[in-house]
Structure 1
Amino acid sequence: MDMILKPFPPSEATFNSTWNSIMVEFLQFLKNTDSAFMLNAHPYNAYTRGEGTFPIDYALFQSVNSKKKIVDPNTLFEYSNMFDTMVDAAYYAMNALGISSVPVIVTESGWPWNGGSSDPAATVDNALVYNHNLIQHVLSGSGTPSQPTTETSAYIYELFNKDLHPGLLSEKNWGIVFPNGTATYSLNFEALTGNDSIVNGFFCIAKLNAKLDMVKLGLDWACGEGGADCSEIQPGKPCYLPNDLISTTSYAYNDYYQKKRASGGGCYFSDTAFLTNSDPSHGSCIFTGSPRKPDGQGPPSSAFSPANNDAFNKGVSVQVLPFSYLLPIILFSWLQGN
């Protein structure tokens, strides 16, 4: 996006004129070879640099107050999220150079999950909300306001953290998977169906591979000092599973998280917990925050596994791939055509 000097309103977007001669040649090559223009679109960066110009809900694909609708004054297109604004800015910037019919592929888009006190918007909650909503937005195939019939593909940035990357803490922590293979937070790479909403809720549950002694300490803290309502995991209650410490603790962790998140409560518990958007309710055991009703059927959800997501093996239009894998391909293709 740094090549586009003024992304809003999208209809006025242009590339940095210093590069116009190169960009025209490059874009013409893409058009002649039926290739796509690859764009790194990070609403997080635009939001933090904007210093309050846009609400964070707009960056996270969440509902924006009707009084704060983002409208392009030239086209009167309404933009419900910053991601579409950025993609359309790329289309308009190409049109300004006389190039059309070149599709845009978003090669990087994500959200940091840890920024410390210097970047309060970089949290696990926001990262989960953004990437989940990005996945659903892309899988919906809705396109953008200016290109409603053109689907947008995207690569989630990124698979692993960059611990040695210089700069702010938030610049190092964009990864959705830890080096040991466990998820930073759980993502569902399948499209929602039926009456599901874009964000159906997030749950805090215990990690399957966590040390049981640490899980027990977390359970005791949540039910004690943490103030979680643990009545449902007592003998005779629907969520009582005496031989399953992980499931039992997950109920307590989640109850604490749902009640305390608004006041700063997190889902960490000495690294024995993680967030998921898969409802862990089972049978008559309904987790706090779940829209489900007791049905007395079914085992605990697969959400109890932090790495149990087959979507990484599915051929969907949202993928997780470091951009460094793509750059040599782009440059090689361009050089071959010149």
Structure 2
Amino acid sequence: MKLQIQFQALLLFVGVLVNSVGAYIGVNIGTDVTNLPPPVEIVAILRAHQITHVRLFDSDARILNALSATGIQVHVSVTNQEVLGIGESTSAAATWISKNIAAYLPSTNITAISVGSEVLTSLPNAAPILFSAMSNLHKALVASNLNDRVKISTPFAMDVIPNPFPPSTANFNSTFNTTIFQILQFLKNTKSFYTVNAYPYYEYVKSNGIFPLEYALFKPLSSVKQIVDPNTLFHYDNMYDALIDAVYNSIAALNFSGIPVVVTETGWPWFGGATEPDATLGNAETYINNLIRRVANESGPPSQRSFPIHTYIYELFNEDKRGGDVSERSWGLVFANGSTVYDLSLSDGSEDDVNGSVSVFCIARQGAEESGLRDGINWACGPGRANCGPVQEGRACYMPDTLQNHASFAYNDYYQKMRGAGGTCDFGGTAVITSVDPSYGSCRFTGSSNSSTSGPFPSPAFGPVGPSSGSSRNVDIFRFGILFAVNALLYLLGVNTRDIL
């Protein structure tokens, strides 16, 4: 029995090693959207794009329930309005953990909590209580035996570092030093991470032409535009790395090390007002795709190469209800109907993509009312101009002769043809988006990789990809090496795995 326990512990250790491989790209999900899709459709969109990490700006119960059993890692948030109450009351913190974390684990894979967002700079009156709020929440996690599973941090704005360039001389604003020191000690003690909202878009705009646009967009720099830190002689070929290094150097200035930096928000607006000339579709597409390639190369910034830069893109949907500048409503990767705002590509050029895309389909919702399905079919095949010929008797998609099947084909044909023009997958609540190809036999649904009917495809997945060496084969080799080493160790110890499995 003792040997079995030891072996299980060894397997757990191996699992941690294997799963720690690879930097990840996640996405923020905001809900200030006029036509926000139902949570089940949001999850379908995430799966269609192979997104494995999401961050919520609150602890939305409907979305957390929809994420159940998906395996997607979820980063939830305490809102700024909740920080004061939690910081002043341990019982309030315990209640929050019970209601928003413990109630969903382990089915919903919650792994982290953001305590507020940019509290020091956006909510100064809550700044003195921020550390207490983090501490109270951690105590509640310990009491629930969840502290090893769920980490706590608080996203800082880059504004807490007044002069981020050159990175080697960066320091936190001394006004916040006491609070930041307490938080860094907390992060170190709890083996958590420093989180930051890093936006090269805003830094570029503020620089008033000091830095070239190419530098902010990860584009190659000419020899006369090279950015070099005069103290370390580190070359920075993009602003993103420089900002992250400014954070690491600011942390080091307070005598802390070994605390990884995770970027909780970054992105580029694809549309702006008259005073926002750099908020363009082309710039947003360039920034996001280059960001994905940068994160995928597994390395950290020049001063911390061993720390990959885990990153969450801001954001999944365009939050059209937000106020402020025009650009505030134009950061999304996809529209509410699931179609992408611009082309996204994860290819690192090392392997050919199969089709270069991942498809989503619009099908009839299980359990939908028959009357609703009939109305949906009649509309899709009539005003919606879907091609419903294949579901006619004797044709390829007629069997099985059910409303569910016929509606799925009609809905999907309409959706694939019209979503680029704003068509939605709703049909009076009788439809749902799925990433599972519903094609069968000789019945091919529009959008299938084997479909003879061309249709608009969503862009390639933007979830985690392999290391910069160019292939997931390297990860497989690494995992094989670990398993081989474990077996070799057991052999040397004279352990027969058949005796303990």
What is the TM-score normalised by the length of structure 2? Answer: 0.42
TM-superposed CA distance for 1:116, in Å, is 3.0
* Stretches of 4+ aligned residues off by more than 3 angstroms: 269-272, 298-304, 308-312, 314-317
Between the aligned partners of 2:278 and 2:164, the Cα distance in structure 1 is 22
After TM superposition, list the pairs within 5 Å mapping 1:81-230 onto structure 2.
81-188=238-345, 190-194=346-350
**Where does the alignment leave 5 or more consecutive residues of structure 2 unmatched?**
1-157, 353-360, 363-379, 381-416, 424-449, 468-501
TM-superposed CA distance for 1:166, in Å, is 1.8
After TM superposition, list the pairs within 5 Å mapping 1:229-248 onto structure 2.
none
After TM superposition, list the pairs within 5 Å mapping 1:247-258 onto structure 2.
none
Between the aligned partners of 1:182 and 1:108, the Cα distance in structure 2 is 22
Cα contact 1:112–1:122 (8 A) shared by 2: yes
Q: Does residue 208 of structure 2 align to residue 51 of structure 1?
A: yes
Aligned amino acid, residue 349 of structure 2: T
TM-superposed CA distance for 1:142, in Å, is 2.3
Aligned CA RMSD, in angstroms, stands at 4.0
From the superposition, tell whether residues 6 and 303 of structure 1 become closer, same or farther in structure 2 (CA, over 3 Å).
farther
From the superposition, tell whether residues 29 and 127 of structure 1 become closer, same or farther in structure 2 (CA, over 3 Å).
same
1:132-184, Cα deviation, whole Å (9 max, x unpaired):
00001001112211111211110001111222222110122101111122111
Aligned amino acid, residue 457 of structure 2: S
Larger Rg computed on CA atoms: 2
Between the aligned partners of 2:210 and 2:453, the Cα distance in structure 1 is 41
Cα contact 1:162–1:173 (8 A) shared by 2: yes
Cα contact 1:143–1:152 (8 A) shared by 2: yes
Give the match's secondary structure for 2:274: helix
What is the TM-score normalised by the length of structure 1? Answer: 0.61
TM-superposed CA distance for 1:105, in Å, is 0.4
Cα contact 1:139–1:191 (8 A) shared by 2: no
Between the aligned partners of 1:70 and 1:124, the Cα distance in structure 2 is 26
1:64-99, Cα deviation, whole Å (9 max, x unpaired):
111110000111100000000000000000011111
Give the match's secondary structure for 1:118: coil
TM-superposed CA distance for 1:32, in Å, is 1.2
The equivalent of 1:2 in structure 2 is: 159
The equivalent of 1:235 in structure 2 is: none
The equivalent of 1:276 in structure 2 is: none
Between the aligned partners of 2:351 and 2:461, the Cα distance in structure 1 is 23
From the superposition, tell whether residues 270 and 78 of structure 1 become closer, same or farther in structure 2 (CA, over 3 Å).
same
Aligned amino acid, residue 348 of structure 2: L
TM-superposed CA distance for 1:187, in Å, is 1.5
Give the match's secondary structure for 2:264: strand
Give the match's secondary structure for 1:24: helix
Between the aligned partners of 1:143 and 1:60, the Cα distance in structure 2 is 17
Between the aligned partners of 2:215 and 2:451, the Cα distance in structure 1 is 37
Between the aligned partners of 1:75 and 1:300, the Cα distance in structure 2 is 57
The equivalent of 1:68 in structure 2 is: 225
Give the match's secondary structure for 1:159: coil
After TM superposition, list the pairs within 5 Å mapping 1:293-332 onto structure 2.
304-306=456-458, 309-311=460-462
Cα contact 1:42–1:109 (8 A) shared by 2: yes
1:104-136, Cα deviation, whole Å (9 max, x unpaired):
001101000001322111111110110000001
Cα contact 1:108–1:155 (8 A) shared by 2: yes
**Where does the alignment leave 5 or more consecutive residues of structure 1 unmatched?**
197-207, 212-248, 250-268, 273-297, 318-338
The equivalent of 1:79 in structure 2 is: 236
TM-superposed CA distance for 1:270, in Å, is 7.4
Aligned amino acid, residue 343 of structure 2: S
Between the aligned partners of 1:301 and 1:43, the Cα distance in structure 2 is 41
From the superposition, tell whether residues 88 and 64 of structure 1 become closer, same or farther in structure 2 (CA, over 3 Å).
same
Aligned amino acid, residue 55 of structure 1: P
1:272-319, Cα deviation, whole Å (9 max, x unpaired):
9xxxxxxxxxxxxxxxxxxxxxxxxx999999413x54445x6889xx
1:3-52, Cα deviation, whole Å (9 max, x unpaired):
11110000111111111011111001101111110011100000111110
Give the match's secondary structure for 2:224: helix
Between the aligned partners of 1:13 and 1:172, the Cα distance in structure 2 is 32
From the superposition, tell whether residues 74 and 302 of structure 1 become closer, same or farther in structure 2 (CA, over 3 Å).
farther
Could you tell me which of 165, 181, 199 is aligned with 1:42? 199
From the superposition, tell whether residues 270 and 193 of structure 1 become closer, same or farther in structure 2 (CA, over 3 Å).
closer
Between the aligned partners of 1:78 and 1:92, the Cα distance in structure 2 is 16
From the superposition, tell whether residues 47 and 24 of structure 1 become closer, same or farther in structure 2 (CA, over 3 Å).
same
Could you tell me which of 17, 33, 44 is aligned with 2:174? 17
Q: Size of the alignment, in residue pairs? A: 236
